[in-house]
């Protein structure tokens, strides 16, 4: 292995510390497997010399006892060894998968905006599965075959060191092709896992957008796309299989040279009287037994390369830095009033700035509406308040505290958000409402639903609040999903509220009810409202107009109309009819 590969595999093995006891039991059981093979090779000598050649029939009755005894010892030892080492491997992969998920879910939104969920899911599931299969097989193989090889080597050298040395000349010759094969397997495994990521991406997008696919009748197109990606993945898998299948024949061909040399030299020794027939067959038996674990160990090398190929992608994800994290010495956010201030904030997702020198204030209990053309920076402002991203310069303050210098947990606890993307989990309605407050009582959940005018339709469902709503809440209408999200924000009871097109999916009647609920919710809370329909924010305490990442106007509805600026143009476009 290369130095990098060695470091990666060592890092994998650090995860075995938590299951050290299971590995020790497996090592002890491996001694039983190795000892039974070594004993079988050693017993060939007395069997040939005393029973076959000398005709000592008294040994006949002992043969079944030895055969059954050795088989029992080996079988029980093999079971214990495999069970404990494979369960240890499963525990190792469980820890790796847990670390991988915990790290990835804590990465910033900037990372998630750059990567599709399909490849990310592939690393957590498929890559770890490859490591799991490889590591479990490697741990089993190295322990059992390694100890067996050592024991048989001892028997062979004890029987005749010259014959055994001739057999060992072949092993270094077989190392070069095994190494070359292993490197190719590693390279194609890594590429294949990348192709599996694309395949997972197609699956995730297809099932998430199945309604669109059905509406446009593009099922056959999606099937063809999946077939293409599946074929692309197969090409890499085929190469891995080809090189893996080639390793055993190469070892067998190379080992045949050693066996031929041993037989030729050994038979001459027997004919000249230098050794007995039993000694020759005992040494040959040990050598023949020895090549089996040697071939299996070459397979283990291939599995190690597969594990390294997948582990490189896993540790690459684990090595992604968390761009949004608690600063050293961060203190809890203390919200006494709820004043939010932007002080000369500059932000960009890439090279082009999205916000340019933005300064604004939301006073305690004030409703601040953010309006402007698409791409003006409205959603970016609320994303920065949530600290999904950090600005390149400037600062955001809540009650005078810079949000970069407070703990993320205390910041999130002070915010409630209703987004235009009404995301609900495949769970009960009650659990979706209490998602922001897991400890909320049933009575509090019902009260939040009433305030969001969601209780009437929930009560009509077969299981009421315990109704499972399906993936992304697809069993509910858009307006019903929106009201459950609003109930979730009401139950959160945070001092700062963010409404990003919170009533966009509601019909006129539902919107009127929810606007009343939101009016109660917004009372004594600092609220940011993003709305394209200006009719919903006319009564806001302050309307901030954004254009190309800058604040161009700010004031009340009538004041902005009187100015005749951008707000007046937007208003006229919407109400021209």
Residues 290, 193 within the same domain = yes
Q: Mean pLDDT lowest for which of 31-40, 44-53, 67-76, 316-325?
A: 44-53
What pLDDT shows up at residue 505? Answer: 57
Exposed/middle/buried for 177, CB within 10 Å: 0-12, 13-18, 19+? middle
Q: What CA–CA distance (Å, rounded) separates 494 from 547?
A: 29
Tell me what the mean pLDDT of segment 301-328 comes to.
81
Highest-pLDDT range among 185-189, 199-203, 229-233, 483-487: 483-487
Other CB atoms closer than 10 Å to residue 131's CB: what's the count? 26
Over 80: is that where the pLDDT of 83 sits?
Answer: yes
Mean residue pLDDT of the chain comes to 80
Residues 193, 223 within the same domain = yes
Tell me what the mean pLDDT of segment 67-82 comes to.
85
* Contact predicate 398/339, CB 8 Å: yes
Instruction: Report the CATH number at residue 479.
Output: 3.40.50.300
Return the structure tokens found at 36: 């039974």
Q: Which of 148, 131, 476, 492 is nearest to 313 (CA)?
A: 131
H-type helices in 421-495, by residue range?
429-433, 442-451, 455-459, 478-492
State the DSSP code for 123: I
Q: Give the confidence band of 251 by pLDDT, cuts at 50, 70, 90.
A: low
Residue 335 lies in a domain: no
Residues 43, 167 within the same domain = yes
Tell me what the mean pLDDT of segment 327-332 comes to.
89
Residues 181, 267 within the same domain = yes
* Contact predicate 248/299, CB 8 Å: yes
What pLDDT shows up at residue 352? Answer: 84
Residue 334 lies in a domain: no
Q: Give the confidence band of 286 by pLDDT, cuts at 50, 70, 90.
A: confident
What pLDDT shows up at residue 504? Answer: 62
Residues 243, 345 within the same domain = no
Q: Give the confidence band of 254 by pLDDT, cuts at 50, 70, 90.
A: low
Q: Which residues contact 11 (CB under 8 A, 6 or more apart)?
A: 311, 315
Cα–chain-centroid distance for residue 540?
44
Q: Give the confidence band of 207 by pLDDT, cuts at 50, 70, 90.
A: low
Q: Give the confidence band of 344 by pLDDT, cuts at 50, 70, 90.
A: very high
Return the structure tokens found at 352: 């082009």
Inter-CA distances, 316 with 104, 182, 242, 445, Å: 11, 21, 27, 42
State the DSSP code for 331: B
Instruction: Report the CATH number at residue 166.
Output: 1.20.1560.10
Q: Which residue in the block uniquely carries the two structure tokens 């000398």?
A: 54
Return the structure tokens found at 79: 């079971």
Residues 37, 171 within the same domain = yes
Residues 305, 354 within the same domain = no
Residues 115, 231 within the same domain = yes
Tell me what the mean pLDDT of segment 411-425 comes to.
83
* Contact predicate 489/416, CB 8 Å: yes
Residue 326 lies in a domain: no
Q: What CA–CA distance (Å, rounded) separates 340 from 328?
A: 23
Residue 323 lies in a domain: no
pTM (predicted TM-score): 0.71
Q: Which residues contact 45 (CB under 8 A, 6 or more apart)?
A: 159, 276, 278, 279, 281, 282
Return the structure tokens found at 550: 């800058």
H-type helices in 272-393, by residue range?
277-318, 378-385
What pLDDT shows up at residue 524? Answer: 79
Q: Which residues does residue 378 pair with via DSSP β-bridges, in sequence order? A: none
Domain limits for position 458: 340-575
Residue 169 lies in a domain: yes
Q: Mean pLDDT lowest for which of 14-18, 342-346, 459-463?
A: 14-18
Residue 168 lies in a domain: yes
Residue 1 lies in a domain: no
Number of domains composing the chain: 2
Q: What CA–CA distance (Å, rounded) separates 390 from 375?
A: 19
State the DSSP code for 474: T
Residues 450, 415 within the same domain = yes
Give the DSSP letter string of 21-63: HHHHHHHHHHHHHHHHHHHHHHHHHHIIIIIIIS--GGGTTHH
Which pairs from 221-226 meet CB under 8 Å and 24+ separation? Answer: 226/199, 226/202
Q: Secondary structure of 371-422 in the HEC alphabet?
A: ECCCCCCHHHHHHHHCCCCCCCEEEEEECCEEHHHECHHHHHHCEEEECCCC
Q: What CA–CA distance (Å, rounded) separates 284 from 156?
A: 8
Residues 379, 266 within the same domain = no
Return the structure tokens found at 524: 């004594």
What pLDDT shows up at residue 407? Answer: 92
* Contact predicate 182/304, CB 8 Å: yes
Inter-CA distances, 457 with 54, 365, 471, 480, 484, Å: 95, 31, 19, 8, 11
Tell me what the mean pLDDT of segment 357-379 comes to.
90
Residue 324 lies in a domain: no
* Contact predicate 414/477, CB 8 Å: no
Tell me what the mean pLDDT of segment 206-230 comes to.
74
What is the Rg, in whole angstroms, of the alpha carbon atoms belonging to the chain? 35
Residues 314, 349 within the same domain = no
Residues 428, 463 within the same domain = yes
Over 60: is that where the pLDDT of 1 sits?
Answer: no
């Amino acid at each position: 292995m290369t130095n990098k590969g060695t470091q990666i595999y060592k890092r994998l093995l650090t995860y075995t510390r938590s299951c050290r006891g299971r590995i020790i039991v497996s090592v002890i059981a491996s001694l039983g497997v190795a000892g039974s093979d070594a004993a079988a090779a050693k017993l060939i000598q007395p069997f040939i010399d005393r029973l076959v050649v000398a005709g000592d029939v008294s040994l006949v009755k002992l043969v079944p006892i030895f055969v059954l005894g050795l088989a029992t010892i080996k079988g029980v030892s093999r079971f214990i060894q495999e069970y404990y080492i494979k369960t240890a491997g499963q525990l190792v992969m469980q820890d790796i998968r847990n670390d991988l998920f915990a790290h990835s879910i804590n990465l910033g939104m900037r990372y998630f905006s750059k990567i599709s969920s399909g490849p990310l899911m592939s690393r957590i599931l498929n890559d770890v599965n490859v490591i799991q299969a490889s590591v479990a097989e490697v741990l089993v193989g190295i322990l059992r075959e390694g100890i067996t090889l050592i024991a048989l080597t001892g028997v062979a050298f004890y029987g005749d060191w010259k014959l055994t040395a001739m057999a060992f000349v072949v092993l270094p010759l077989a190392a070069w092709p095994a190494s070359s094969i292993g490197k190719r397997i590693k390279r194609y495994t890594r590429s294949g896992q990348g192709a599996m990521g694309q395949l997972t991406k197609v699956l995730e997008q297809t099932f998430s957008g199945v309604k669109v696919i059905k509406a446009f009748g593009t099922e056959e197109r999606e099937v063809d796309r999946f077939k293409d990606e599946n074929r692309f993945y197969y090409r890499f898998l085929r190469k891995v299989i080809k090189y893996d299948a080639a390793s055993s024949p190469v070892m067998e061909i190379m080992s045949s040279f050693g066996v031929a040399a041993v037989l030729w030299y050994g038979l001459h020794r027997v004919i000249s009287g230098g050794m007995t027939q039993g000694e020759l067959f005992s040494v040959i038996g040990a050598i023949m037994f020895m090549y089996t674990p040697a071939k299996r160990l070459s397979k283990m090398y291939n599995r190690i390369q597969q594990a390294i190929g997948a582990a490189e992608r896993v540790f690459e994800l684990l090595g992604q830095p968390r761009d949004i994290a608690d600063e050293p010495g961060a203190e809890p956010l203390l919200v006494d009033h709820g004043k939010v201030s932007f002080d000369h904030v500059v932000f960009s997702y890439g090279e082009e700035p999205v916000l340019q020198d933005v300064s604004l204030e939301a006073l305690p209990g004030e409703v601040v509406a953010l309006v402007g053309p698409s791409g003006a920076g409205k959603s970016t402002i609320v994303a920065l308040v949530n600290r999904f991203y950090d600005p390149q310069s400037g600062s955001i303050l809540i009650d005078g505290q810079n949000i970069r210098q407070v703990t993320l947990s205390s910041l999130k606890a002070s915010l409630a958000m209703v987004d235009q993307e009404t995301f609900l989990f495949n769970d009960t309605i009650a659990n979706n409402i209490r998602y922001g407050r897991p400890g909320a009582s049933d009575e509090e959940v019902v009260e939040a639903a009433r305030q969001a005018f969601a209780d009437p339709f929930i009560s009509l469902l077969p299981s009421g609040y315990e109704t499972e709503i399906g993936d992304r809440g697809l069993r509910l209408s858009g307006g019903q999903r929106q009201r459950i999200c609003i109930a979730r924000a009401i139950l959160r009871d945070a001092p700062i509220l963010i409404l990003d097109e919170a009533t966009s999916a509601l019909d006129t009647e539902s919107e009127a009810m929810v606007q009343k609920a939101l009016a109660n919710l917004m009372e004594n809370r600092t609220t940011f409202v993003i709305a394209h329909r200006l009719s919903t924010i006319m009564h806001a305490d302050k309307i901030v107009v954004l254009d190309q990442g800058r604040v161009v106007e700010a004031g009340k509805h009538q004041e902005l109309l009187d100015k005749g600026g951008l707000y007046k143009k937007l208003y006229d476009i919407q109400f021209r009819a």
